[in-house]
């Protein structure tokens, strides 16, 4: 397992303002840190070297400086720092560990930063303007807000900002803010839920290019015309636009479609929009334009290749790797690609599932780990997962479904598990077991559930609702009690999550009927519970509740608490402790006890 976990990842690449270098994140030291290297490749230079993870990094236009965000112990309260490209003279722009500071946008001349922060009251994200090089105590409060806001872009004259208000994860409002006056103009009045993602100024009139699902099933590429003040649709594909990057000087743009989990990159340049076929069998995680408008940096990975940074050159189309993150001496030809299937659920709904089969099964019928993603408005993708590949090497099959409520399959599908329909997604897990039992070479009676965050809730809900179907469960930072989860999650997140789960004002009685903590007596399978002490999303009290109830009833449970982690286990030293334990737990209960 250690060899698999030591496979490194390089991601989040952006070109520096000069275009001569690429800055990116890589977990070579055990946590994600900032690296810089020549644009054409070479040896990466380590810029930061902290115990805590760096969450993102941005080069400053017209300057040889970098801005980066870092939290403490996984608490997600990101603080902002400025440094030279060689890592010298690190300046803390913010210094309030109780607040979160999010970089929204950098002006085209690199002179100004637009930041949102909940520093005022811990809940509402106000908009601040900060001159590059100044600290946050010298910033100017531009707009007080309610709820969660993000700044997306500066106008070319630095007089206006694009900003988005998140009413929920799936419902946004897009505004334009006049910096001098604080006047806010609503650009996207609409009915129902609508998303406005990646909005950026584009063209001589500074129209707004974005991805939106206003009055549509999927998020399409759209242009908000300043003259008509309406959206003009540029794509109509039955797939979501999941990334968009604009090169302002040339008007070139690139976007990524999510086609049943696979990424398809398109580039629009010189009046032509073309698909890039060389990167169509995996997942593209980020795209960024070179200052020359003829090259892109992107992060790409697939089931058998770890994430690395690639450079795409236009005319002729050439894709070349920039980074070579360590493969830890493993032969990637032994890794497994999944096959995409769909199974019928209780109501006839066809539910997608990725099925991984071990190349060298240890028996004629292999046990299965059902891996349930978080979110729930997220999606299982055919990307690189070292834990999957290790379990496959040990003779397990992996079934990774996108139960109802998952993103990527349209607006209707993502709302099929809202509030009172929550347990319908758990019924999908039972239907998956029925389908697996009909698959050749699969032992449908030796199945474990594993998942993190909302996936952890699904593990607990599956074990309590269908105790006869599962031989073990692994709950990582999962929700045990929807009522206490909403009471104790970070204040800014409560409203966002109530749109999905139901509200404390109206749905407490319902929460008590479906929350796993009230049905502990039903659990028959051994359970492993994992949590981070500093988790701001799903507080550690969720793990403590389920563990306490199980131990009180003498039911089998293993509990692993990491005091220097938050919502997930990201530090290599902790992953090297956790995942061998998980593997041993699964082998004990799915193989040795078979």
Instruction: Please provide the DSSP assignment of 197-255 as one string.
Output: EEEEEETTTTEEEEEE-TTSSS-EEEEEETTTTEEEES---SSEEEEEEEETTTTEEEE
Has residue 128 been placed in a domain? no
For residue 92, list its beta bridge partners. 81
- For residue 304, the model assigns a pLDDT of 96
Instruction: Using CB atoms within 10 Å of the CB of residue 154, give its burial: 0 to 12 exposed, 13 to 18 middle, 19+ buried.
Output: buried
Q: Within a domain: residue 157? A: no
Q: For residue 406, give the CATH number of its domain.
A: 3.40.50.1820
* Per-residue model confidence as pLDDT tens digits over 300-338: 999 999 999 999 998 788 899 999 999 999 999 999 999
Q: Which pLDDT tens digit goes with each residue over 334-385?
A: 999 999 999 999 999 999 999 999 998 777 899 999 999 999 999 999 999 9
At residue 281, what are phi and psi to the nearest 5 degrees?
Answer: -120, 15
4 occurs within a structural domain: no
Contact 156, 206 (CB under 8 A): yes
Q: For 110-119, what is each residue's pLDDT tens digit?
A: 999 999 999 9
Give a yes or no: residue 277 inside a domain.
no
Kindly report the pTM of this predicted structure: 0.95
The edge-to-edge listing of strands for the beta sheet with 230-233 is 196-202, 207-212, 220-225, 230-233
pLDDT, tens digit (0-9, with 9 covering 90-100), for 445-499? 999 999 999 999 999 999 999 999 999 999 999 999 999 999 999 888 888 899 8
Mean pLDDT for the chain overall: 95
The pLDDT of residue 593: 62
Q: Does a structural domain hold residue 435?
A: yes
In whole angstroms, what is the distance from residue 45 CA to residue 34 CA? 9
Give alpha helix (H) positions in 260-406: 386-393
> Rounded CA gap, 233 and 211, in Å?
9
Count of structural domains, the chain:
1
Q: Look at residue 340 and tell me if it is in a domain.
A: yes
Whether 408 is in a domain gets the answer yes
Tokens 């990646």 belong to which residue?
A: 198
- How large is the average pLDDT for residues 251-279? 93
* Boundaries of domain holding 399: 336-592
* Residues 101-112, mean pLDDT to the nearest whole number: 95
The share of the chain scoring above pLDDT 90, in percent, equals: 91
Classify residue 15: in a domain, yes or no: no
In contact, 586 and 592? CB cutoff 8 Å: no
Least confident interval from 40-49, 203-212, 553-562: 40-49
């Amino acid at each position: 397992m250690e060899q698999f976990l030591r496979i490194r990842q390089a991601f989040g690449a952006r070109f520096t303002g000069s275009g001569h270098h690429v800055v990116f994140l890589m977990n070579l030291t055990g946590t994600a840190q900032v690296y810089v290297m020549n644009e054409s490749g070479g040896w990466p230079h380590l810029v930061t070297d902290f115990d805590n993870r760096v969450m993102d990094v941005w080069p400053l236009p017209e300057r040889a400086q970098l801005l980066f965000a870092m939290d403490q112990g996984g608490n997600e309260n990101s603080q902002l720092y400025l440094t030279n490209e060689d890592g010298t003279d690190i300046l803390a722009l913010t210094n309030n560990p109780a607040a979160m500071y999010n970089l929204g946008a950098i002006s085209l001349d690199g002179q100004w930063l637009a930041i949102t922060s909940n520093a005022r009251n811990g809940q509402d994200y106000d908009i601040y303007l900060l001159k590059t090089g100044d600290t946050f105590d010298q910033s100017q409060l531009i707009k007080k807000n309610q709820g969660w806001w993000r700044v997306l872009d500066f106008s070319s004259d630095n007089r206006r900002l694009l900003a988005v208000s998140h009413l929920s994860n799936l419902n946004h409002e897009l505004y334009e803010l006049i910096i001098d006056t604080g006047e806010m103009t609503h650009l996207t009045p609409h009915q129902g839920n609508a998303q406005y993602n990646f909005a950026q100024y584009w063209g001589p009139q500074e129209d707004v290019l974005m991805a939106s699902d206003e009055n549509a099933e999927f998020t399409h590429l759209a242009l908000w015309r300043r003259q008509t003040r309406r959206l003009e649709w540029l794509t109509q594909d039955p797939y979501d636009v999941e990334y968009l990057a604009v090169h302002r000087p040339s008007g070139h743009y690139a976007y990524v479609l999510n086609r049943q989990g696979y990424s398809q990159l398109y580039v629009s340049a010189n009046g032509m929009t073309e698909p890039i076929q060389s990167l169509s069998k995996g997942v593209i995680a980020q795209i960024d334009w070179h200052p020359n408008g003829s090259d892109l940096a992107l992060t790409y990975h697939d089931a058998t290749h770890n994430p690395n940074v690639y450079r795409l050159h236009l005319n002729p189309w050439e894709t070349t790797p920039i980074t070579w993150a360590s493969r830890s001496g493993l032969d990637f030809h032994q890794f497994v690609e999944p096959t995409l299937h769909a199974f019928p659920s209780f109501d006839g709904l066809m539910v997608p599932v990725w099925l991984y089969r071990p190349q060298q099964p240890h028996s004629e019928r292999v046990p299965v780990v059902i891996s349930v993603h978080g979110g729930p408005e997220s999606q299982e993708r055919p990307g690189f997962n070292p834990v999957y590949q290790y379990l496959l090497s040990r003779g397990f099959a992996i079934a990774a479904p996108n139960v109802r409520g998952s993103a990527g399959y349209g607006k209707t599908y993502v709302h099929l598990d809202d509030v009172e329909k929550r347990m319908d997604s758990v019924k999908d897990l039972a239907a998956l077991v029925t389908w697996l039992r009909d698959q050749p070479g699969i032992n449908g009676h030796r199945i474990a559930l594993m998942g993190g965050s909302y996936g952890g809730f699904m593990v607990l809900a599956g074990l309590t609702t269908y105790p006869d179907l599962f031989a073990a469960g692994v709950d990582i930072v999962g929700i045990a009690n929807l009522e206490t989860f909403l009471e104790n999650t970070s204040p800014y997140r409560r409203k966002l999550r109530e749109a999905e789960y139901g509200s404390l004002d109206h749905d407490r009685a319902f929460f008590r009927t479906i929350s796993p903590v009230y049905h502990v007596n039903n659990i028959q399978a051994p359970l492993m519970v994992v949590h981070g002490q500093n988790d701001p999303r799903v507080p550690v009290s969720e793990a403590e509740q389920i563990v306490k109830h199980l131990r009180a009833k003498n039911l089998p449970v293993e509990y692993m608490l990491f005091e220097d982690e938050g919502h997930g286990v990201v530090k290599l030293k902790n992953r090297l402790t956790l995942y061998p334990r998980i593997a041993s737990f699964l082998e004990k209960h799915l193989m040795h006890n078979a």
